[in-house]
Amino acid sequence: MSTPRPLPVVAAVDGSEDSLRALEWALAEARRCGAPARIVHVRQEGPWTRPGALVSGPPEPAVDGVLDEVRATLAGRDDLPPVEYVTLEGAPAAVLSELGPDAQLLVLGSRGRGGFASLLLGSNGVATARDATCPVVVVPRPGRDVHGDADVPPGPRVVVGVDADDPDGTVLAFAFGQAERSGARLQVIAAFPWPVLAWTTFGDFTPTTVDQDAAEHETLTLVNAAVAPFRKEHPDVQVDLYVAPGDAAGHLVENSRDADLVVVGRHRRRFTRPAPMLGSVTQAVLLHAASPVAVVPPATEDGAGAQS
């Protein structure tokens, strides 16, 4: 029986420097995992493509100038995986999100040609990371300032955020796979709220007597239990556990400095929130992290999840 061909790593391009930077990340990832690369340009829907539109002008030519420029840029390189070029029509956010079932990874820049200069993350990136059924990697512009005094270890590093009370195995599987393929150490970060507050009879909050050391120990115990099966599956991956009080997004952003990748999850769909949601931590990391960020969707109800 022949081995099934791996799904491609899809890179979205629009001619912007941001998208070309993301393309290079996608090509490197495709080489690492032995997959083909699919380079996609989504052209905005024109009036002649809408049913019932009355226009006198001709349709756009079949030639795609953006992909022609990419072909010229990559011509002559001998370090490329198998590459396919695809032109699609429509609203980029919607079209890119629909590519998820046929991709193992979707990669795009933090802002495309249509982004406002004041925005750190374009609307296409937000929508694709929120809606796609495969992991989405958003590659930021270089030079983002990251504040904080986190002791960042040297060398290649993948950072993953874990909710100790509700760990997502799909996110951990993806992060371990990325670390193993790239030879990076895996930094697992979990935050616990501190101080712990409780309602008073006067309708406000007051600190409780919960001991910080006890809260930290309990969080570390939960994270160790969540990580244990993945450590067993990936014995060559060096794992560092980092448990700290306070804001999870802040810790992830601080540790994104000089990281190869930060991996975060998306909210699981629930009865009270049936639509896809990024979540506040994931959105903050997308906006402020200095490294590429992978947003991993939760496993589907039939047990399928993100490929690692």
The token pair at 11 is: 């890179």
In a domain, 258, yes or no: yes
Q: Residue 142 to residues 58, 65, 109, 180, 252: CA-CA distances in angstroms?
A: 40, 26, 11, 25, 17
The token pair at 296 is: 């991993």
Beta strands in 165-216 (DSSP E): 185-192, 197-199, 205-207
Residue 273, pLDDT > 50, answer no
In a domain, 301, yes or no: no
Q: How many percent of the chain have pLDDT more than 70?
A: 77
Whether residue 216 sits in one domain with residue 184: yes
In a domain, 151, yes or no: no
| Mean pLDDT computed over 26-50 | 84
pTM: predicted TM-score of the whole model, two decimal places: 0.83
Whether residue 204 sits in one domain with residue 117: no
In a domain, 150, yes or no: no
* CATH number for position 179: 3.40.50.12370
Q: How many percent of the chain have pLDDT more than 90?
A: 55
* CATH number for position 95: 3.40.50.620
Domain boundaries, position 220: 157-296
| CB burial of residue 163 (10 Å; 0-12, 13-18, 19+) | middle
Show Cβ contacts of residue 229 under 8 Å, excluding neighbours closer than 6 positions. none
Dump pLDDT digits (tens) for 192-245: 876 554 455 555 555 554 567 788 889 999 999 999 999 999 999 999 999 988
Residue scoring higher pLDDT (283 or 176): 176
